[in-house]
């Protein structure tokens, strides 16, 4: 793992949360985009070398919708940058970590992503991600 890439925060209203985090972080978000496969709209803030990713559900079957329904808004996941998601996923599974995704998939902000199940990471939803161009 290279570094913490971003911290994901589940929110009910991304527009309101963009205003809140812009005041808190004293900077504007630099990108908003939808990730259809995950049923979310994302918004990114750059804070030093780490990004904050706000996630709003776009449907009731979205993992973010389900998360907010059970736990409320707040910290959702931590993401680590890796050179190659599929290679790192293979290594992590060999070390006994349970993967939610069996291979990398398209994510937001030009990334290939995969998640580890919180059951195997002390209840912390963990994402690994690499740049799309690094895996092409």
Domains of the chain, first to last = 3-135 (3.10.180.10)
Summarised one tens digit per residue, pLDDT across range 90-131 is 999 999 999 999 999 999 999 999 999 999 999 999 999 999
Instruction: Say if CB 58 and CB 102 are below 8 A apart.
Output: no
Query: What's the pTM?
Result: 0.92
Considering only residues 79 and 134, tell me which one the structure prediction assigns the higher pLDDT.
Answer: 79
Enclosing H/E stretch for 22: helix 14-25
Which tokens in the block code for residue 76?
A: 């959702």
Q: How far, in Å, are 28, 62, 86, 106, 115 from residue 35 at the CA level?
A: 21, 11, 20, 8, 15
Long-range contacts at 101-107 (CB < 8 A, ≥ 24 apart):
104/130, 104/135, 105/37, 106/35, 106/37, 106/132, 107/35, 107/38
């Amino acid at each position: 793992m290279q570094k913490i890439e971003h911290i994901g925060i589940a929110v009910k209203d991304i527009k309101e949360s963009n205003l809140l985090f812009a005041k808190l972080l004293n900077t504007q978000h630099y990108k908003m985009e939808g990730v259809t496969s995950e049923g979310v709209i994302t918004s990114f803030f750059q804070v030093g070398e780490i990004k904050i990713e706000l996630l709003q559900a776009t449907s009731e079957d979205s993992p973010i919708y389900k998360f907010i329904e059970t736990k409320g808004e707040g910290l959702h996941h931590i993401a680590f940058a890796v050179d190659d998601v599929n290679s790192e996923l293979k290594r992590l599974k060999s070390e006994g970590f349970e993967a939610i995704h069996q291979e990398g998939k398209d994510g937001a902000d030009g990334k290939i992503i995969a998640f580890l199940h919180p059951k195997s990471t002390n209840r912390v939803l963990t994402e690994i991600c690499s740049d799309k161009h690094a895996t092409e």
